[in-house]
């Protein structure tokens, strides 16, 4: 089974469509979505419609989805994020808001050995940025593979008998790594719609469960169109600019 793994789409329909086109060429059987469908970007309704069509077999909520649905407040958000999520909440239909409100909190169990979450298995809002964070996240469960998002960076942490290490590969268009069965793995496919790892290309991954390979992929997309939508909506200009810098 080949799994398409998407995270942090953030209302960027241009990036999502570019990723889906690239993924169609790669081939996949089932879809996993790790949350933050909305927030920051301007095309929330279009992204939610595309997700309905895609019908991911596994879909967890992100913190932006939760706040947009009104389940928790935006008090912990940066001023820019708060403006964007309040605009999103005001412009989405009741049907779209109900879809966000119904998204489950992670972790979801794909099978006994694979967990899916937005931030970390024990805390959906935790940012796993470095090996210390990864150690904490991996100590919270026993699964061999945990897929997560939230940081908007494509990262791979490995816990083997030799210890815990950051084995994030150099960024290329496609970089398949083998998930050795004698180690445990924590993999972030990166952000489709707002990458922050100094690479403006949309990020996603395809995991081949039988071969044990994780293909970390980057795709160019129409950044000016996504920026124009943000500016047309009157959202903070920093949200448009950061798409070009990937930061
Ligand atoms: Zn996010």
pLDDT averaged over 10-residue windows placed end to end, the chain, 247 residues: 98 98 98 98 98 98 98 95 97 98 96 95 96 95 96 97 92 88 97 97 97 97 98 98 96
**In the structure encoding, which two tokens stand for residue 194, read together?**
């707002």
By C-alpha distance, which of 201, 115, 111 is closest to 154? 201
Question: What's the confidence (pLDDT) of residue 112?
Answer: 81
Q: Is this prediction's pTM over 0.85?
A: yes
**Token duo for residue 165:** 């290490």
Token readout for 139 is: 């100590």
Q: How far, in Å, from the CA of 182 to the mean position of ligand 1?
A: 31
Q: How far is the CA of 64 from the centre of ligand 1 (A)?
A: 7
In the reported structure, the alpha carbon of residue 62 is separated from the centroid of ligand 1 by a whole-number distance in angstroms of 7
Residues with C-beta atoms within 5 A of ion ligand 1: 8, 36
Query: Exposure of 40 by Cβ count < 10 A (0-12 exposed, 13-18 middle, 19+ buried)?
Result: buried
Q: What is the pLDDT of residue 174?
A: 83
CA 191 to centroid of ligand 1, rounded, Å: 7
Query: Ligand 1: distance of its center to the CA of 161 in Å?
Result: 32
- Interval between CA 184 and ligand 1 midpoint (Å): 24
**Confidence (pLDDT) at 163:** 94
Q: What is the pLDDT of residue 166?
A: 96
């Amino acid at each position: 089974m080949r799994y398409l793994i998407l995270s942090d789409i953030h209302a960027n329909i241009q990036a999502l469509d570019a990723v889906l086109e690239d993924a169609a060429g790669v081939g996949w059987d089932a879809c996993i979505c790790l949350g933050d469908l909305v927030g920051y970007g301007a095309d929330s309704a279009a992204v939610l419609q595309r997700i309905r069509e895609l019908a991911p077999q596994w879909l967890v909520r992100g913190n932006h989805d939760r706040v947009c649905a009104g389940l928790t407040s935006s008090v912990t958000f940066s001023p820019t994020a708060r403006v964007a999520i309040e605009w999103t909440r005001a412009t989405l239909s009741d049907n779209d808001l109900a879809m966000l409100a119904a998204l489950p909190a992670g972790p979801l169990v794909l099978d006994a050995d694979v967990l899916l979450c937005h931030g970390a298995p024990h805390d959906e809002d935790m940012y796993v940025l470095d090996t210390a964070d990864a150690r904490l996240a991996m100590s919270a469960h026993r699964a061999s593979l945990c897929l997560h998002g939230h940081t908007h960076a494509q990262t791979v942490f490995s816990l083997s008998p030799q210890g815990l290490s950051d084995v994030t590969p150099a960024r290329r268009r496609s970089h398949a790594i083998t998930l050795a069965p004698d180690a445990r793995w924590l993999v972030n496919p990166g952000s489709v719609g707002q990458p922050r790892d100094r690479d403006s290309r949309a990020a996603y991954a395809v995991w081949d469960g039988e071969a044990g390979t994780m293909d970390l992929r980057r795709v160019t997309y129409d950044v000016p169109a996504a920026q124009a939508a943000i500016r047309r909506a009157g959202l903070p200009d920093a949200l448009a600019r950061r798409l070009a810098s990937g930061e």
